[in-house]
Chain A
Amino acid sequence: MKREFHIGPGAASLILIIVILSLSVLSVMTLTNARGDERLTARSATVVEAIGNLNVRAEKTVAQLDEIFLRARQESGDSVSYIENIRGMLPQQMEMKENIVSWAETDEDGRKLCCSIEILPMERAERFARIEHRLSSEFAEMELEDIWN
């Protein structure tokens, strides 16, 4: 016995609704994904620019420090007075331990670029050596417990 297959009224509409719904959901998902990519790119560009600005500021500070070192060399007779002269000329926000000068460049988003340079002895032709150039954020410095709580 052979059974005939009939498409009843409403079947085409049902299939249409399913197809349109599927296509709509997929298109919205793709759109959301693309917008997310675009936002991520824009955010990444902002972060990269902010870090670039911090690096530029750090280099400008190194240039200022080098001027101080050069002036201190011209005014000092020995290594002890050289270091003392530098200590006296350093801007307030800088820290000096032995012959290491440290400072941090910060921005309004909580990024911090920690920099340190070593003051080389007067006998050397070079005046300083970069020893630290580390980027950190407030988030990275928080304790894990603070984050979870």
Chain B
Amino acid sequence: MKKSNRLNVLLAEIIIATLFFALASTVILKVYTVTHSQSILAEAGSTAQTEMRNLSEMCYAAEDAEAVLTEYGFVKSEDRYVYNSDDYTLSAVIETEKTAAGTLRTILFSAEVMGETGMSLPSARYFPEVTAQ
């Protein structure tokens, strides 16, 4: 009789423990899910940023920035060049301004990570007009 009572108490404790574990694991799982999505967002943001910096340098070095962007995989859409990746979208708007002594080319890169506009990177290069003496 005494042994049976002890087993019942143990069984009840295990049932309560299992229920509590289920409840607690639901909360903990939720925290892990949020963490995972935050981690993916941060990684995608970091990758997009690195890509933008690389592109900015490549465009600065090149005389024909449009060719660089097209070669990279950008597609021209209205007034901007757009590059779609799985996690982020990069866009570049090229503007050229003629000055009295040359041309100033400005490119504004912006990244949209997981549907959110996150960061932008302006880049410019001045091309002096060489005049014959």
Chain A interface residues (CB < 8 Å from chain B): 7, 9-10, 12-13, 15-16, 19-20, 23-24, 27-28, 30-31, 33-35, 37-38, 40-42, 44-45, 48-49, 52-53, 55-56, 59-60, 62-63, 66-67, 69-71, 73, 122-128
Contact = CB atoms under 8 A, between A and B. Distances in A.
A126 B130 contact: yes
A63 B133 contact: no
Interface string B29-70: 001101110110111011001001100100000000000000
A20 B49 contact: no
Contacts, number: 129
A48 B35 contact: no
Contact of A67 (B6, B99, B121): B99
Given A16-B17, A27-B28, 16 more contacts: A10-B13, A31-B38, A34-B39, A38-B38, A41-B42, A48-B49, A48-B53, A48-B121, A52-B121, A52-B122, A53-B122, A56-B123, A59-B126, A60-B126, A66-B126, A73-B131
A9 B42 contact: no
Interface string B1-18: 000001001100110110
Contacts of A40: 42
B131 A20 contact: no
A9 B25 CA distance: 23
Interface of B: 6, 9-10, 13-14, 16-17, 20-21, 24-25, 28, 31-32, 34-36, 38-39, 41-43, 45-46, 49, 52-53, 56, 99-102, 104, 106, 118-126, 128, 130-133
Identify whether the interface residues of A are mostly helix, strand, loop, or mixed: helix
Contacts of A122: 133
A12 B46 contact: no
A15 B18 CA distance: 11
B21 to A, nearest CB: 6
Nearest to A41: B45
Contacts of B21: 16, 19-20
Contacts of B119: 45, 48-49
Nearest to A62: B126
Contacts of B25: 23
A37 B40 CA distance: 10
